């Protein structure tokens, strides 16, 4: 029997056809996830195309541990990003990976565009192409509710949907999986919208085999025990990622008022502890994961007098709270949750929309944009009502300003001014950690310009109040960038990175029939990181031309003010050592 599920399902939307191709060498070489998907992207995506053109492929890849090991069940999506114009890579949890593998596929490649709104249904037999007109314009939630099948089917069904923002091609529209999981970043939703693809449902009615069931069971138990019997995952289970709010506020790294401040006077009102005590409804897990990191809160806005409430559940994490809470100076948990819910309903990335709204608030304050351009909205810090209206306008685009805002803060600033406070790097909005040099440099040199690429923020926090040693920071970033690409090719959830030590990774691979040494794995991680940049460079990404908003060097970070010369030196050093590039 094959060690890995090595069938790639190719779907051609233009012809409503599909093809299943076995690619054992490819899986043997890259194992799955990021590595496999980026390789397929290099193969399938023609150079220089418009990200919204039919030729832009969407590749969805689980990893070798998906459906088999705990905390390793995410799916990696890659595509050419409409937001940055280069590598689009986003990871999401949910049942998608397990279902895809249980239907018998190791990866999914979606090509071309459908002529009319389409919904595809995938099962072990193949693919059904269905008319999505009845769910056109619906939020992800409402579309999903309608597509979820009867009990028999729903037992192992995963549903991916986009909302109106994706249909209207907002550059940072997200895709939703099984209600609480998101391919949040870099605009996968818009690529789905451009393909006229509203939703995918996968029925995983088959099963996954392992070569040595005894060894597998033993290894599974070992991983599981580490997860539940040590405190390595405690943060993610108890308070969840919103635990970061107070921690970062304390060290002045919680971006506030569009990064003008590192601490927020109302941090306690929107922190993880407050949410846990007053707003949390329940926790939700991905299949096989005992952690339940998804913290689902309950909002119940009154829509009339006489105790008339709308029961709304809102999945929230630290990044959404920073982006739509502190960074916009929204003072209460309730309002922050309302903004997150609105963003989720429209199907927009919470981080990016917060980033864009922060730019708009400051641009309005400074007179760069006016009431006529905003369609009468007067955004101000903490003004939730205006923000809710602006979100609708960013999706419906009634004015040129909103069409620009729908392309991200950097594009909006290029048109209207305020580039010095458009807080994006490489086109992607900044994550919520104003910790120091490593966070900023890490975001620039990460494959997907995300804090998860290399945890620069973590490096910064470890060297707090010490003199930064630039070459040590560069060292750590190189190591983390490469090793994390190995982890995301195995599609190990990065929350569980301390569980999956180098030793544990090797053991778990062995349990699914793959023998690899640490050296081989490190080499593979490095190779995959470089293929991500091969695609980025091919599509015009240039480390020399990355715009760095001036505010980064003006506002205080947890490690004090950043010196631009020192920073440029580190970037040069990184480029030289990792890419042999002279900046």
Partner 1 sequence: MPLREKIYLEHPERCLGCYSCVFTCSLELFNIVSATRTAISLKPCSLGDPFTVIFCTGCDKPSCVKACEALQQDKEGKLKLIDPSKCDKCETFDCAKACVTGALLIDPETNKPILCTQCAKCAEICPHEVIKFKETKQ
In whole angstroms, the minimum distance from the beta carbon of 137 to partner 1 comes to 5
Q: How far is the CB of 235 from partner 1 (least distance, A)?
A: 25
Q: Would you say the C-alpha torsion 231, 232, 237, 242 has a positive or negative sign?
A: positive
Closest CB to partner 1 among residues 180, 533: 180
- Which of 166, 452, 454 is CA-nearest to residue 318? 452
Entry field: residues in the chain: 583
Nearest distance from C-beta of residue 238 to partner 1, angstroms: 21
Q: Which is nearer to partner 1, 158 or 326 (CB)?
A: 158
- Tell me whether residue 131 or residue 400 sits nearer to partner 1 (CB atom): 131
- Which of 22/131 has CB closer to partner 1? 131
DSSP, res 417: S
Measured from the CB of residue 134, what is the shortest distance to partner 1 in angstroms?
5
For the CB of residue 201, give the shortest distance to partner 1 in the complex, in Å.
9
**DSSP 8-class letter at 554:** H
With respect to partner 1, which residue has the nearer C-beta, 141 or 574? 141
- Pick 178 or 578: Cβ nearer partner 1: 178
Query: Distances in Å between the alpha carbon of 354 and those of 65, 212, 371, 408?
Result: 34, 48, 20, 10
Nearest distance, CB of residue 402 and partner 1, angstroms: 19
DSSP one-letter string for 25-93: HHHHHH-SHHHHHHHHHHHHS-TT--TTSTT--EEEE--TTTTTSTT---EEEEEE-TTTSSEEEEEE-
Rounded CA separation 118/195 (Å): 9
Rounded (10°) CA dihedral 307, 313, 314, 315: 150
| C-beta of 129 vs 402, nearer to partner 1 | 129
75: Cβ contacts below 8 Å, ≥ 6 apart: 60, 61, 62, 66, 91, 92, 93, 94, 96, 97, 100, 177, 491
Strand partners, 9: 20, 108
Q: Which is nearer to partner 1, 159 or 275 (CB)?
A: 159
To partner 1, the closest distance from the beta carbon of 447 in angstroms equals 32
Least Å from the CB of residue 339 to partner 1: 16
Smallest distance, Å, CB 10 to partner 1? 22
CB 242 within 8 A of CB 271: yes
Q: How far is CA 525 from CA 240, 306, 344, 483, 544, in A?
A: 28, 59, 33, 5, 25
Least Å distance between CB 301 and partner 1?
9
Contacts 24+ apart (CB under 8 A), 450-453: 450/185, 452/91, 452/484, 452/494, 453/480, 453/481, 453/484
Beta bridge partners of 203: 157
Select 213 or 301, whichever has its Cβ closest to partner 1: 301
Q: How far apart are CA 292 and CA 352, in angstroms?
A: 25
Instruction: For the CB of residue 417, give the shortest distance to partner 1 in the complex, in Å.
Output: 35
CB of 116 or CB of 580, closer to partner 1: 116
Measured distance CA(538)–CA(547) in Å, rounded: 19
Instruction: Give CA 434 to chain center in angstroms.
Output: 19
310 versus 519: smaller Cβ distance to partner 1 = 310
Residues near partner 1, by CB under 8 A: 116, 119, 130-138, 141-142, 144-148, 154, 178-179, 282, 303, 308, 310-313
Q: Are 45 and 80 in contact (CB under 8 A)?
A: yes
Identify which of 534, 457, 479, 450 has the alpha carbon closest to the alpha carbon of residue 186.
Answer: 450
């Amino acid at each position: 029997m094959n060690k890995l599920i090595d069938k790639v399902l190719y779907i051609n939307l233009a012809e409503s056809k599909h093809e299943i191709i076995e690619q054992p060498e490819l899986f043997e070489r890259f194992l799955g996830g990021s590595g496999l998907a980026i390789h397929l992207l290099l193969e399938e995506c023609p150079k220089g195309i418009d990200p919204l053109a039919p030729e832009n492929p969407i590749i969805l890849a689980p990893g070798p541990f998906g459906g088999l090991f705990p905390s390793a069940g995410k799916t990696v999506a890659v595509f050419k990003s409409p937001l940055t114009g280069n590598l689009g890579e986003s990871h999401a949890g949910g049942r998608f990976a397990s279902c895809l593998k249980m239907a018998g596929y190791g990866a999914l490649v979606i090509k071309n565009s459908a002529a009319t709104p389409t919904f595809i249904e995938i099962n072990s037999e193949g693919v059904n192409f269905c008319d999505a007109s009845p769910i056109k314009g619906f939020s992800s939630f409402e579309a999903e509710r309608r597509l979820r099948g009867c009990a028999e089917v729903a037992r192992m069904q995963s549903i991916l949907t986009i909302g109106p923002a994706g249909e209207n091609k907002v550059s940072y529209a997200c895709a939703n999986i099984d209600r609480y999981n998101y391919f949040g970043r870099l605009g996968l939703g818009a690529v789905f919208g451009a393909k006229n693809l509203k939703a995918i449902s996968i029925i995983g009615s088959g099963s996954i085999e392992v070569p040595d069931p005894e060894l597998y069971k033993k290894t599974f138990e070992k991983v599981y025990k580490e997860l539940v019997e040590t405190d390595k995952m405690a943060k993610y289970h108890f308070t969840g990622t919103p635990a970061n709010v107070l921690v970062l506020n304390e060290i002045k790294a919680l971006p506030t008022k569009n990064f003008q401040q590192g601490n927020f006077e109302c941090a306690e009102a929107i922190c993880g502890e407050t949410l846990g005590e007053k707003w949390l409804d329940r926790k939700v897990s991905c299949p096989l994961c005992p952690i339940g990191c998804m913290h689902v809160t309950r909002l119940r806005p009154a829509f009339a007098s006489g105790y008339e409430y709308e029961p709304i559940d809102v999945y929230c994490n630290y990044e959404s709270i920073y982006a739509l809470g502190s960074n916009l100076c929204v003072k209460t948990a309730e309002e922050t949750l309302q903004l997150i819910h609105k963003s989720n309903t429209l199907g927009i990335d919470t981080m990016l929309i917060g980033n864009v709204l922060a730019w708009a608030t400051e641009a309005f304050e400074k007179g760069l944009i006016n009431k006529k351009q905003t369609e009468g909205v007067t955004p101000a810090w903490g003004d939730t009502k205006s923000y809710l209206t602006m979100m609708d306008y960013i999706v419906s685009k009634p004015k040129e300003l909103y069409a620009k805002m729908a392309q991200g803060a950097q594009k909006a600033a290029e048109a209207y001014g305020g580039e010095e406070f458009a807080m994006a790097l490489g086109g992607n909005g900044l994550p919520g950690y104003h910790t120091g040099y490593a966070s900023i440099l890490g975001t620039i040199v990460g494959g997907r310009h995300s804090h998860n690429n290399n945890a620069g923020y973590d490096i910064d926090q470890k060297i707090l109040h010490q003199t930064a040693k630039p070459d040590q920071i560069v060292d750590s970033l190189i190591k983390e960038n490469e090793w994390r690409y190995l982890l995301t090719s195995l599609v190990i959830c990065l929350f569980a990175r301390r569980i999956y030590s180098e030793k544990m990774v090797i053991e778990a691979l062995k349990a699914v029939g793959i023998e690899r040494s640490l050296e081989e794995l490190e080499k593979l991680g490095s190779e995959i990181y470089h293929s991500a940049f091969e695609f980025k460079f091919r599509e015009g990404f240039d480390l020399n031309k990355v715009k760095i908003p001036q505010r980064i060097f003006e506002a205080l970070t947890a490690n004090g003010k950043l010196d631009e010369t020192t920073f440029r030196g580190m970037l040069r050093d990184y480029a030289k050592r990792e890419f042999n590039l002279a900046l």
